[in-house]
Structure 1
Amino acid sequence: MDQPIGVIDSGVGGLTVASELMRQLPKEQLIYLGDTLRCPYGPRPKEEVIQYTWEMVEFLLEKNIKMLVVACNTATAFTLEQLRQKLDIPVVGVIQPGARAAIKMSQNMRIGVIGTEGTINSKAYPKALQIINSKIRVNDWACPRFVPMVEDGILSGSQALKVVYESLKPLKDKNHIDTLILGCTHYPLIRDIIQEVMGEHVHIISSGEETAREVSTIMGYHKKLYNGERVPQHKFYTTGRLDVFEKIAKIWLDQSINFVEKANISKD
């Protein structure tokens, strides 16, 4: 089916999911929208996150997408069921794939989750994990400084290390987790620093790979996969600064992006 897959995120973090989609589904065209102007979503009230998410969805629906990937954990926590009920295309979030991957990896069933305030307060990950296995002990921890740092393009160096160390020290000191879920799609952009702070004995889980695998499975089931031969032309939209978005996209996707435009989606 020659229609694009839509990917939405509160900013640049969803590029971690887009990268996996491009790797696992090399024939599929992506249309990505990052709401960098209003990022982060984590500290925002639930109703505001729902409003902003729907504004992004409506923008992508005009592009005739065949499937929607909600690459923002906060938006997934607050809107996924609503989107699935109201849209007539498949919708995939990032929380359940990440939870399943963590359970596969953990040996002691002590799993940590880090995310924005919104994601952590929603308890979406503990619910997803304990539905599968009620014996799992979950330690979740909000890291509100991470998303603004990543959105500013600070992905390495002493400043990034200081922020990560200060944010994760309480989680590291108090618990014996062997697996840590990066419950925000921005966080894989600073994965190496998180690993350094937590230690090599802790398995780091990013939901991008599992999410892409789920997208592939669902599209195959619904007969929505593109069956021809092509090199797809992906399109990227941002509500914020183009230069910052392009800089981070080039680093994370490891390639130049040929189409990036400003999107005006706010109805305020």
Structure 2
Amino acid sequence: MRIVLVDSGIGLLSTAAALRQARPDADLVLSMDPDHMPWGPRTAEEIVDRALAGARAALAERPDAVVVACNTASVHALSALRAELEPGVPVIGTVPAVKPAADRGGPVAIWATPATTGSPYQRDLIDRFARGVPVTPVPCDGLADAIEAADEAAVDAAVARAARLTPAEVRGVVLGCTHYDLVGGRIAAALGHRPVMFTAAAAVAAQTLRRLGTTARPDAPHTGTLRVLASGRPGELPAAALRYPAGALLAAAPAAG
């Protein structure tokens, strides 16, 4: 079983790590785009082009599934990717965990990039899944970039800014950018460990396995390999990735031959 994950940078680490833990026998291909990152400030058309390029670059690996491990790319490029790759290769997107957070009861905060906060996409999620639940959108200025660079001081500053915008009565925090999963512990600490963190990585991993007609087997042999593509070229995990537990977990896998 070979699974491709597409993102501009290391935001895909949390979903890749969840897949590695669920199926240590699965081969993973991380298709990142350092030449054109970040994707967030780009136009919708550019994001579609970059996501398609990332997926196409990995097709030579003969993937069984493609995971769009990025909220922004899922919003803009999921339909185009599915139109091109399915039904031959299932494509799985990433949606912020607004529904489970709202189902647990509010108030809820959604931490997301400034571009996503207040977007029609996020408003639609709130209208569909959190109707009647108090929701506070929290723009996390600079947080994704700080995580991508593994700049601890900048991460702490961005987390502190977002924490100040988060109401004290919030019971759940939706991490609406895959990068944020990598510093979930810091976010919880900044909020005094009060609210429950809701992330998408485990749910996306589970949905990927369902689309492949299989289930989690964490006791499977640890035979899964790792291949990294950097804007279509053979590459390695960025040094910043190794600063996070998810990156260290993935780095322990053998390189694909």
Q: How does 1:91-170 map to 2 (within 5 A)?
A: 91-95=91-95, 98-104=97-103, 106-108=104-106, 110-154=107-151, 156=152, 158-169=153-164
Counterparts of 1:201 and 1:24 in 2: how far apart (Å)? 28
Counterparts of 2:236 and 2:65 in 1: how far apart (Å)? 28
The letter of the residue matching 1:127 is D
Structure 1, unaligned runs of 5 or more: 261-268
Change (3 A) 1:249 1:220: farther
| 1:199-256 deviation line (CA, Å, top 9, x unaligned) | 32211111101111111122117x9x9xx9661212122349x677144246323343
Instruction: Give the CA deviation at 1:21.
Output: 0.5
| 1:40-60 deviation line (CA, Å, top 9, x unaligned) | 222222222111111111112
| 1:85-109 deviation line (CA, Å, top 9, x unaligned) | 332221111106x2343234x322x
The letter of the residue matching 1:144 is D
2:85 aligned partner? 87
The letter of the residue matching 1:166 is R
The letter of the residue matching 1:111 is V
1:67 aligned partner? 65
2:230 aligned partner? 238
The letter of the residue matching 1:91 is V
Change (3 A) 1:176 1:45: farther
Contact 1:153–1:244 (Cα < 8 Å) also in 2: no
Contact 1:26–1:231 (Cα < 8 Å) also in 2: yes
Q: TM-score, normalised by structure 1?
A: 0.80
Counterparts of 1:250 and 1:167 in 2: how far apart (Å)? 22
The letter of the residue matching 2:195 is V
Structure 1 residue 253 and structure 2 residue 252: aligned?
no
Instruction: Give the CA deviation at 1:121.
Output: 4.6
Instruction: Give the CA deviation at 1:74.
Output: 0.4
The letter of the residue matching 2:8 is S
2:74 aligned partner? 76
Q: TM-score, normalised by structure 2?
A: 0.83
Counterparts of 2:3 and 2:141 in 1: how far apart (Å)? 29
Candidates 10, 13, 16, aligned match of 1:15: 13
Structure 2, unaligned runs of 5 or more: none
Instruction: Give the CA deviation at 1:118.
Output: 3.4
Percent identity, aligned pairs only? 21
Could you say what the CA RMSD is over the residues aligned between the two structures, in angstroms?
Answer: 2.9
Count residues in correspondence. Answer: 247
| 1:128-155 deviation line (CA, Å, top 9, x unaligned) | 343245323332232230121112112x
Change (3 A) 1:219 1:244: closer
Contact 1:101–1:207 (Cα < 8 Å) also in 2: no
Change (3 A) 1:136 1:92: farther
For residue 192 of structure 1, give the secondary structure of its aligned residue in structure 2: helix
For residue 76 of structure 1, give the secondary structure of its aligned residue in structure 2: helix
Counterparts of 2:243 and 2:229 in 1: how far apart (Å)? 14
Counterparts of 1:249 and 1:168 in 2: how far apart (Å)? 26
Contact 2:105–2:133 (Cα < 8 Å) also in 1: no
Counterparts of 1:164 and 1:125 in 2: how far apart (Å)? 20
Counterparts of 1:229 and 1:152 in 2: how far apart (Å)? 33
Change (3 A) 1:136 1:101: same
Counterparts of 1:117 and 1:50 in 2: how far apart (Å)? 20
